[in-house]
Amino acid sequence: MSDEIKEKFTVIEGGRKKGSKKKSLTPKQLKFAEALGHGIDGEPCSISDAYRHAYDTKKMSDAVIRNEASKLSQHHDVAIMVDKIIADRNKKKFVKEVSTKERIENELWKIVDEEDNNTHRLRALEMMGKSIAMFSEVTISKDEQRSLEDIEKELRSKLNSLKDQG
């Protein structure tokens, strides 16, 4: 979990500190939120599975687990933590995707600028062009050609039918 997220929440052993103005999650609530935000072992999970992961549910029926998991997922502090974990994960994913794209682009520009072989330079330029859809073919389909008289007839017909309805 990022330090940014931890700064806004304090995990308190044994539950919420009385009289504390800081938002806090118990260790089990935090484990539940992390399971919802990150999944369990990297796999997405249901709120019931996240609850089972964080709490001792051996003596609980599935219906009770679903109910408690639903209530806990709606707990204000837990919901905020889950949202922050997901936002942090999405931000990291976006940064990684952008950095990969930039690295590839930089390598292609390096080939264009430094390569002596014109074939390699041309291929690098072609790949960059394809990455921005520069060479994609656009097919424009045209409706059949209609005469001015046909269009006028169609419009008069539609206007008359509207006139008759009104």
Q: What percent of the chain has pLDDT over 70?
A: 81
Q: pTM (2 decimals)?
A: 0.49
Dihedral (CA of 13, 17, 22, 26) sign: positive
At a CB cut-off of 8 Å and minimum separation 6, what does 13 contact? 27
Contact predicate 26/15, CB 8 Å: yes
* Mean predicted confidence (pLDDT) in 26-55: 92
pLDDT given for residue 13 in this prediction: 47
Alpha helices, DSSP H, located in the chain: 3-8, 27-38, 47-54, 62-74, 76-114, 118-131, 148-165
Name the pLDDT band for 62 (thresholds 50, 70, 90).
Answer: very high
φ and ψ of 24, to 5 deg: -140, 155
pLDDT given for residue 10 in this prediction: 52
